[in-house]
Every structure is written in structure tokens, then in C-alpha cells.
Amino acid sequence: MNKPSETHLLAERIKKNSAAQMFTDISSRGRYATDASIYQTIPVAVCVPTCADDVTVALQVAKELEIPILPRGGGTSQCGQTTGAALVIDNSKHFRKLLHVDPVEKIAIVEPGMVLDHLNAQLKQHQLWFPVDVSTAGQATIGGMAGNNSCGSRSIAYGNMVHNVAGIDAWLANGQLASFGLMEIAQGEALRLGQFVQQLARRYQSDIQTHWPKVLRRVAGYNLDIFHNQNEKPYTTDSKVNLAHLLVGSEGSLAYFKSLTLNLSPLPQHKTLGVVNFASFHKAMDSAQHIARLGPSAIELVDRTMLDLGRQNPEFRATIETALIDKNAPTPEAILLVEFSGENHQELIAKLKDLVTLMADLGLAGSVVEMTQAQMQKNLWEVRKAGLNIMMSLKGDGKPVSFIEDCAVPLEHLAEYTSALTDVFHKHGTRGTWYAHASVGTLHVRPILDMRKDGTHKMREIAQEAAQLVRKYKGAYSGEHGDGISRGEWIKWQFGENINQAFSQIKNAFDPDCLFNPGKIVNPPKMDEHHLMRFHPKYEVSPLKTALDWSAWNVQNNPMTEAVTAPGTGLDPASGFAKAVEMCNNNGHCRKFDAGTMCPSYRVTRDEQHVTRGRANTLRLALSNQLEGNHLASEAVKEALDLCVGCKGCKRECPTGVDMAKMKIEFLSHYKKEHGLSLRDRLIAYLPQYASFISKRPKLIALLNLRNKFPWLAKLTELLLGISAKRSLPIWQTETAWDSPYYKLGYEDFKIEALAMQRMVVLFADTFNGYFEPDNIDAAADVLEAAGYWVYIPRKEKGQYCCGRTLLSSGLVDEAKIQAKELLDHLSIYAKAGIDIVGLEPSCILSLRDEYLMMGLGEQAELVAKHSFTFEEFIVKEAAKVEFAQTPHVNKFQFKPTDQEILVHGHCHQKAFEVVSPVIEVLKIIPGANPKMIESSCCGMAGSFGYEVEHEKISMEMAELSLLPSIRNSPDAIIVADGTSCRHQIDDGTSRKALHVAKVLQMHLK
Ligand SMILES: Cc1cc2nc3c(=O)[nH]c(=O)nc-3n(C[C@H](O)[C@H](O)[C@H](O)COP(=O)(O)OP(=O)(O)OC[C@H]3O[C@@H](n4cnc5c(N)ncnc54)[C@H](O)[C@@H]3O)c2cc1C
Ligand code: SF4
Ligand code: SF4
């Protein structure tokens, strides 16, 4: 263990001589202590270099201080490769450029931190791709993929990393740079090291011949077989020796990659997919060997447990059902996704027919869903890629654990191997879910184990029995995910004493002082050493009384049936909050930039601190007393959660459902209790309470509205309150939604029983629309009335009802509960009578379906939640009913046609609840309308976030990622945005007025 003084010296010297960011505080180091494995080790320090020169400095200083070095990409390794007491260097933020592409030679040169998906996006214009299509393509970096010798779903066609890397320029342990490529042209240190390893290969040739697994998917140890290829697929097409292949799979333990030269492949022009449904798992496994003979580019397995789990997830259900022969029949025990790809579509369709015939010959006529449409195939592949994550969504301390996850066996033994291993699991009181690469005999399986109890013990026993099976079937123990900690000790078992010795000699030749990622591949620790575990037996959570109700997470599960115990019975001292936080398994899926929302702050900053994973890790460390200050309400946690805009993107898109928006509310409730509220906090939180007072005072309103007109006033409010002078503030109105005489008529004598029989709807006027944009409430009421509804707007004698959103966002949960209770008391009268409640502001109305259910508000909350809808959801729902067309009012529900372009920006909470499509659907009621979604993440305003002076810039950066440019590109379009803050952001960023969908409908009413 390094002394703190050494850590600081290291950081100081690197900072002084480079532009790298250095982190030495415990929370930053804690965020780099884990990867997607079960392990955790706090690093000495973390370095985020801006360029190659920074890395040179970091390596030099670390060497002088004898501090180990651990290169890191996305940190998605499953075996603990990126955990270690070292200087962790994160390439993924800056060190990620595409340096060169040669479309003719089909070569690309990249920096190690480049993410695979980003590379492929840039290669598409050349009709090329880098075909090692790992499931983590959106997060995995090329350096990390090479470090682990990663393999994709299509390895049967393209091979593993080692088959696709043509050269590596790397820093050696002595700080020198060396070029590793074809041995025949190697020079200097690369040649010297290559020749040394060649001698070893000669010396141990008979051992290699005897012990080396002869399968495509062998990624363990160093690639000593490059001189006498043992792989099913030759490493090079012309049998030449390439020394870069020695470094592939070295897990950061031999050299530090500076740039990688990659062989590219032509993008397949066409693909077809046959999804074979099996009523028996054994039959699926037995069929793989026959299907492989048809020459597919992939055969991927998904088993019943995963299909069922996926069907429970709203994001995946519809897609999974496209793969089923009959979605109303019992779920198949397994499906195989069989892909054919190539240049000629007709030939691929013919292959699909061959598959149908083959299955019929194997006794399974009518078992294949034929997919020729590209989008359907793509959707299904996305779900398959999310397979592991779907499985990890199991609540409770028993989790599917990765340690024999990717043993590879020859195809003819697959059925026997899987059933024997299933028996092993049963013997140890657990079971596993099977999925992935049936084409190459590498099936992923994770038995469910509780690492806080007997998990480590069972892990070893199962590993031993699995190893015997692998040996029996002449397979490879590590067939995809590398060695790291969980498989390091099995290298000797797999290759024998002599080859293990040779690996030590290779390590010694490259890295005599053992500074590069020590303990990986050579001299590994035991896989079950307690002190290396993230959840070791002494892991302890401090008691916590939570503000929200987290009991749904406070459960345990049965590893055999996966049934969970009743809410609140999981023995979490933090009332379920710790278990909710621990749902994050560090897979890194939140480090993404593709469609969807998660995680906007990471998309802008690329900081581990500002991604959902970093936040969940910080909370976990705080709750388990592993941070300085040792408690939840600490500054370290505040910093990590500061840029979380509460968009709920993670609630929907995190495969294990980590709901950071709610976690932030929980955190704020503790933090604000301890540290108090600022004046700005109060002004925002209590706005609904004082808004009514202001709205009745026109002179005060005139005065307040001056703030937007005079820059010096804006500056003054910035100085006094911390509200950015660059922002316009919402304009106070003298007429509010509750003043409109139109809606007051007759409601005082309202008798619910009488009205329940009629078409009635409650239009919940939220504070923002009600006071600042009452036109929107009018518009909604007009449209609802045109649709034949009698509209009632809830109001009180004094002030108005409020959902409590501003209080929740400020962490004032107790006060929010009072508001919520009052609102529920009122709304439940209508809900009980079967009357629906409609809201315009997504964050307000959807909190009735979300946060309210975690505030201990009982059955009233459940009832109201069932009857709460966004405006457009309600219209779409009602319009689908037969009676709708029969209403006497329906002739009023007619719209003028339009030919104007309409662009829709979905509010993040609409996206989180999958209620964006009703906006599009409702707009399509207007004749001629062809509304299009803007592919955007969060607008960045997020309630008060974007108004806060310290967040204004980053808020705008979030909007600039795609939302604002898309709007600027369509100068004549009607922009639809249902969120108040989204409309303000669009106005501030483009000077365009976005409209609530209700307003657009009203404008087009005949
Ligand atoms: C849900 C899930 C699905 C997965 N699916 C697949 C899959 O389909 N196929 C597959 O093969 N793997 C898979 N993995 C494992 C993992 O995603 C891959 O191994 C991935 O390629 C790792 O990339 P990374 O950038 O996260 O690397 P990291 O985990 O950051 O690093 C991996 C190794 O490379 C080393 N390294 C990183 N950069 C350098 C450098 N510049 N120089 C030298 N060494 C370096 C590191 O030290 C480490 O040993 C999966 C993991 C998860 C969580
Ligand atoms: S927060 Fe979710 S998506 Fe991100 S690493 Fe954790 S589990 Fe994965
Ligand atoms: S709520 Fe949004 S910003 Fe916060 S962690 Fe989740 S995705 Fe990221």
C-alpha cells in the first residue's frame, strides 16, 4: 500500500509536467476501484491524460516512484482486470482520436480510448467496419478490447481481437516506445522481445501442442502460440507472425498501448435473421452444431429466463415478442438467433429457407421466425446485447456472478456440457441463465450467489467442477472475458506448469519491475480472496432512516426460483436505499451517446464522476462508510450528484433500473437537513406557495417582470440569488389558469356521484402553466371540451393545489408529502368515481405515477396514479374507444389541415415513462401533419438546474448536443415541447417559441 505522501508526490509531479487531470481524493479513487466484476481495490491515484505526452509523463513519474500502472478504457471488464492498487490512467475521456483511415488498404489507426461504436460510426462513410462486435460496443474502448482480446457475436465469421489487430505502438516499462507489427520488419526493442518470446515458444513447443486449447475462443494467458498457431482460425491470413498479437490479451500487464492499427472489413450489405424457437433447451444446444454448417455469421442463444425477464421490462417487451412464434403460448425454453450476412440479399433469403428446412429435418417444423427487415433485426440484436444486463436486474443480495461465464467447448459437446454444468449448479443450490455465442461454443452463464454469505465458498467449488468439465470436453476455461482476478489462478491449471513459467518469463522480459498491472496473468491472487471483493463478508451498511420508501429493494431472493421475499424483509440497515444503490453492477451501460437520454451530464463532461455509475458507486461507498466524512450528507456525494439533472433517463435505460433521480431526492433530503437551504433553494422550492400572492398584485408583477428587460437587474439577481443573468425568467401573468371565469362556472356545487356518469375530466393546472403560461391550460381545456368532455380544474379557496415537485427537487420530502396528501385527498374523490386526471407538465403529472408511490402515501396514491395521464396520453386513449366517435360533441373535435413541418422534443420524464409516442399520435389527428421526433437527450434545463449560475453553461452544452442544432436546422418548423423548462431552454438557445402540444391542437381546431 502506498503512503499518502507518495500519492500526493505522484499527483503533484504529473500535474506539474503535463496537462493531465489528477485525482487523489478517496471518492474519485473509489469510483475507479471497480469494474463490471465482483472485485474492488482502491487505486493509488487516478490520472486522466489529455494526450499521449501526458501519458509519457505519467508513466515516467510512476516508474520513478515505483508505483504500479493500470491502463483503463471503459472499465467494463468482468474479471477484475481494471482493479488494482496502482496509478489508474483513464484513456476514455481525451485519448480517443481516430488518427488515420485508409479505405483502400482497409486499415485504421486509433488511440486506445476510442469507443468501438464511435469508430464504426466514422467508418460507415467508407462502407467499412471494425467487426469485433462486443456487446459493450457503446462503452468498450479499442485499447480495452485489445487488452482483453475481446470477441463479438460474429466471431465465427471475423475472429477475435487478435485476428483483427495489425499493429500496436506501445510504451514499454522503461518508458521507451516500440512498434509491434509483423516480425519480419520488427526493429529495436520490439524485435528483441519478439525473438525472446520466439525462443520460449520453441522451448515449450511440445507443451503448447499438448496443453493449448484448440478452440477459436481461447483468450487466457499470453499468445505464445503466435509462432505455431493453435487457434481454429489463423491469426494472420498469410501465416506471418505479428508481434502485436503478443500484446493482445495482455490485460495491461506487458505494455501501455499508444495507438493501434486495425484491419477493417467491408460492411455487410445485407443480413437476414432466423429466430429458432425451442421447447427444449437441450435440443437448442444440440442443434447449434448442425446450424453452424449453414455458414451463418452468428448463432446466439437467449434462454427462457432471459426472455421472461426481458418481457417484464417495458423497454424490451415488444421487441422480444417479435422473435416468438406465438407470443400467447408459453415462452420457449430457448431461442437461437441465426444470422446470415453478405452481398446478395436473395442468397441470404435462400439461406433462411435452408434453416427452415434444416429445422424441419431436425423435427422442428414451424419453429423459425424469419426476419428480413433490417430494423426488426437491429432491435432484436440490441435486446440480445442487453442480455446480461437484463439478467442482472434481480433484486436481493444473491446476484448472477461472473467467473465461469465464458468457458468455450467444441460445439458437438455443447448440449452435454450445459446440462452437466446445470447439474453442478443445482448441487450447490443455485441455477444459471444461459445466453450468447452458441456458434463458437461460448455460452454465458452466471450462477446466482450471495457474495456476502457463502458465495465465495460456492464460487470455488463450482469453478473446480466447471474446470473438470472444460477439460473433459477439451475446451478453454477463459473464452471471452479474459483472466483478471477471477481466472488468473486457472491459467496454470489450463496450460500446465511449463507454459505458466514461460508466461512469467515473458512478463519479466517486458516488465522486470512488475509495474504494469501487477497480479494479472502472472502471479495472480486467489479468485476468492476476501479483501479483493466489492461485497466482502465484512461489508457493512450504516443504518439510515430514509425519506422515500425504498422497501421494494429491501428484499432477498431464492437462487433456484428467483422469487423475492416481501418488501422490507431484506435486512438492509439503510431501509432498502443501499440495496437500490447496489443494483448498479458497474457494467458501464450509462456511458453512452446513442439514442435515449442517459446520461446527459456524462455526454457533456465524459467524467466518471458525472455518469450514473460514478454516482451509484459514490453513494455505495458513502452508505458503507468507505468515504471520508463517512456519511451520505457529505460534500463528496453532493459533488457527484451535482450535475444529475433528475431526467430519469437511467430509470428507464439502466438495465438494472438504477433510478438516480429518486436517489438524488433521497440524498438532498439528508444533505439539506444537515446543511440547510439557501435563499435560492427557498425561492424555487416554495414558488407554488407564494405564486398566488404575487399573481394578485399587478404592480409587483410589473416590477418582477422588469428583471428580463434590464441586464443590470438580471446581474443583480445573479449576485444576490445565484440565478444566471444569461437566462430569461418566466413571465408572471395577471390572469392565471384559476382566474378564468369560464372554468369557474357551476363547479362550486359539484356533486361527484352525479357527474361520474358523464364524460368528465379533471385538468390539473400545475404551478408553471397555471401562473406563467395559462394559455396552455386554456388550450387543453378547449381541446378537451371539443372532444366532448366537461373540464374541471382543481382549485382551493386560497392558492392552488400543487404536486410538490419543486419541494421534492429541493429535497424537502416531508413538506412535499403534505402537499401531495392534500392533492391526493382532492383528486382521489374523482379517481374513485372513475374520472381521469390530466396534466400538461410531464414532470408534475408523472410524479403522481412515480415519486408519489414511494412517499408512503398508501392506497390513495395507487388509485390516483392509475387515473393520471398526460394530456396527449388521455386523448389518444379516449380516441381509441368506440364511444368516442359516438359523442354528440365529436363534430367539434375537427381540425384544420396543415402542411407545416412539426418537430417534437420529448420531455425526459415522458421518455422515462414511454409516453412520448402519444404526442406524435395526437398530432397526427391534424390532417396533413407529419410530426417527427428530434433525437435528443435531456434539454439540459431540467427544472431550475439551467437557471442556476453555476450550471448555466453545462445546461446549454447539454442542449447543444443535438436539440438546439436540430431546431436551428428547421427554421420554419412548429416546435412542440410539453415541458415548461424545455420550452425555455429552446427559447434561450434559439429564440424560437416552442409550443405545448395542446396549443398546437387548439390552433388547428376548426
Ligand atoms: C454487459 C457486458 C457485456 C460484455 N460483452 C462482451 C462481449 O460481447 N465480448 C467481449 O469480449 N467482452 C464483453 N464484455 C467484457 C468487456 O466489455 C470487454 O472486454 C471490453 O472490450 C473491455 O473494454 P473496456 O474499454 O471497458 O476495457 P477495460 O475494462 O477498461 O480494460 C480492459 C483491459 O485492457 C487493458 N487496457 C486498457 N487500455 C489499455 C492500454 N491503452 N494499453 C494496455 N492495456 C490497456 C486494461 O488494463 C484491462 O486489463 C462485456 C462486459 C459487460 C459488462
Ligand atoms: S448505473 Fe446502471 S447502466 Fe450504469 S453501470 Fe450501473 S447498472 Fe450499469
Ligand atoms: S437522472 Fe439523468 S442525469 Fe441523473 S444519473 Fe440518471 S440519467 Fe444521469
- 753 Cβ contact list (under 8 Å, min separation 6): 833
pLDDT at 441: 86
List, for residues 251-279, the tens digit of each pLDDT value: 999 999 999 999 999 999 999 999 999 99
Residue range 676-682: mean pLDDT, rounded: 96
- What is the chain's mean pLDDT, rounded? 93
83: left (phi over 0), alpha (psi -120 to 50) or beta: beta
- Say which residues have a Cβ less than 8 Å from residue 509's Cβ, sequence separation at least 6: 193, 196, 197
- What is the position in ligand 3's atom list of the atom closest to the CA of 938? 2
Rounded distance between C-alpha atoms, residue 480 and residue 140, angstroms: 14
pLDDT at residue 391 tops 90:
no
HEC per residue, 539-554? CCCCCCCCCCCCHHHC
Backbone angles phi, psi at 427, to 5 degrees: -55, -35
Q: What is the 3-state secondary structure (H, E, C) of 745-779?
A: CCHHHCCHHHHCCCCEEEEECCHHHHHHCHHHHHH
Model pLDDT for residues 413-425, shown as the tens digit of each residue: 999 999 999 999 9
As given in the structure block, the three cell numbers for residue 532 are 479483493
Q: Is 139 in the pocket of ligand 2 (CB under 6 A)?
A: no
Which residues, including other chains, have CB under 8 Å from residue 748's CB and lie 6 or more apart?
Answer: none
Question: Which amino acid makes up residue 923?
Answer: L
Q: How confident is the model at residue 790 (pLDDT cuts 50, 70, 90)?
A: confident
pLDDT in tens, 445-502: 999 999 988 999 999 999 999 999 999 999 999 889 999 999 999 999 999 999 999 9
CB atoms closer than 10 angstroms to residue 185 = 11
* Residue 50 CA, distance from chain mean position: 25
**First-to-last CA distance in the chain?**
76
Distance CA 427, CA 415 (A): 19
The pLDDT tens digits of the residues spanning 871-899 come to 999 999 999 887 777 766 666 889 999 99
Q: What is the percentage of the chain residues whose pLDDT exceeds 90?
A: 83
Instruction: Write down the pLDDT at residue 348.
Output: 95
**Among all ligands shown, which has an atom nearest to the Cα of 31?**
2
Task: Quote the pLDDT of residue 889.
Answer: 62
pLDDT of residue 594: 80
Rounded to an integer, the average pLDDT of 920-925 is: 96
Residue 909 has pLDDT above 50, yes or no: yes
Reported confidence tier of residue 734, pLDDT bands at 50, 70, 90: very high
Q: What's the grid cell of residue 537?
A: 463478508
Residue whose cell numbers read 417444423: 365
Q: Which of 654-668, 689-703, 729-743, 962-976 has the lowest mean pLDDT?
A: 729-743
Arithmetic mean of pLDDT, 986-990: 97
pLDDT tens across 426-459, in order?
999 998 888 888 888 888 899 999 998 899 999 9
What is the distance of C-alpha 665 from the center of its chain? 20
How far from 848 is each of 167, 664, 830, 908, 922, CA to CA, in Å?
A: 56, 18, 14, 16, 22
Reading the block at residue 610, the C-alpha cell is: 458525472
Question: Angle at Cα 221 formed by Cα 220 and Cα 225, nearest 5°?
Answer: 100
Task: Report CA(654)–ligand 2 centroid distance (Å).
Answer: 5
Q: Rounded to an integer, what distance in angstroms lies between the CA atom of residue 119 and that of residue 142?
A: 9
Q: Whose CA is nearest to atom 8 of ligand 3?
A: 599
Residue owning grid cell 485519448: 95
Check residue 748 and give its pLDDT: 46
**588-592 average pLDDT score:** 94
Ligand 3 site residues, Cβ closer than 6 angstroms: 598-601, 612, 615, 644-650, 660-661
Q: Is the pLDDT of residue 732 over 90?
A: yes
Q: From CA 479, how far away is CA 497, in angstroms rounded?
A: 20
Question: How far is ligand 2, taken at its centre, from the CA of residue 571, in Å?
Answer: 23
Task: Report yes or no: 110 and 142 within 8 Å, Cβ to Cβ.
Answer: yes
Q: Confidence band (pLDDT; 50, 70, 90) for 538?
A: confident
Neighbours of 236 (CB within 10 A): 16
- What does the CA dihedral 75, 154, 483, 256 come to, rounded to 10 degrees? -60
Residue type, 7: T
How many Å apart are CA 580 and CA 565, to the nearest integer? Answer: 15
Cα separation, 864 vs 832, in Å, equals 8
Contact 161, 145 (CB under 8 A): yes
Across 565-579, 720-734, 792-806, least confident range: 792-806
- Write out residues with Cβ below 6 Å of ligand 1: 35-36, 70-78, 81-82, 91, 112, 134-136, 140-141, 143-145, 147-148, 150-152, 251-252, 256-257, 388-389, 480-481, 517, 587
Cβ(586) to ligand 2 under 6 A? yes
> What cell numbers appear for 272 in the block?
437476414
pLDDT at residue 630 in the model: 65
Closest C-alpha among 522, 448, 526, 445 to residue 481: 445
Q: How far apart are CA 765 and CA 342, in angstroms?
A: 56
Give the pTM: 0.94
Percentage of the residues of the chain whose pLDDT score is greater than 70: 97
Give mean pLDDT, residues 73-90.
Answer: 98
Among all ligands shown, which has an atom nearest to the Cα of 610?
Answer: 3
Ligand 1 pocket test target in 76, 171, 405 with most atoms within 8 Å of CB: 76
Name the residue type at position 294: L
Alpha carbon of 12 to ligand 1 centroid (Å): 29
pLDDT at 757 over 60: no
**Rounded distance between C-alpha atoms, residue 993 and residue 986, angstroms:** 7
pLDDT of residue 745: 45
Centre of ligand 3 from the C-alpha of residue 649, in Å:
6
Confidence of residue 965 (pLDDT cuts 50, 70, 90): very high
Q: Distance from the CA of 147 to the center of ligand 1, in angstroms?
A: 7
pLDDT, mean of residues 655-659: 91
- Between residues 479 and 503, the one the model is more confident about: 503
Amino acid 618: pLDDT: 98
Q: Among the atoms of ligand 3, which is closest to the Cα of residue 643?
A: 3
- Give the residue, by CA position, lying nearest to ligand 2 atom 7: 584
User: Which of 31, 32, 59, 77 is the best mutation target for the ligand 1 pocket, counting ligand atoms within 8 Å of the beta carbon and taking the most?
Assistant: 77
Contact 524, 483 (CB under 8 A): yes
Interval 287-332: pLDDT, tens: 999 999 999 999 999 989 889 888 887 778 899 999 999 999 999 9
Q: Which residue has the higher pLDDT, 596 or 412?
A: 412
Q: Which three cell numbers stand for residue 396?
A: 436481493
Average pLDDT, integer, range 79-100: 98
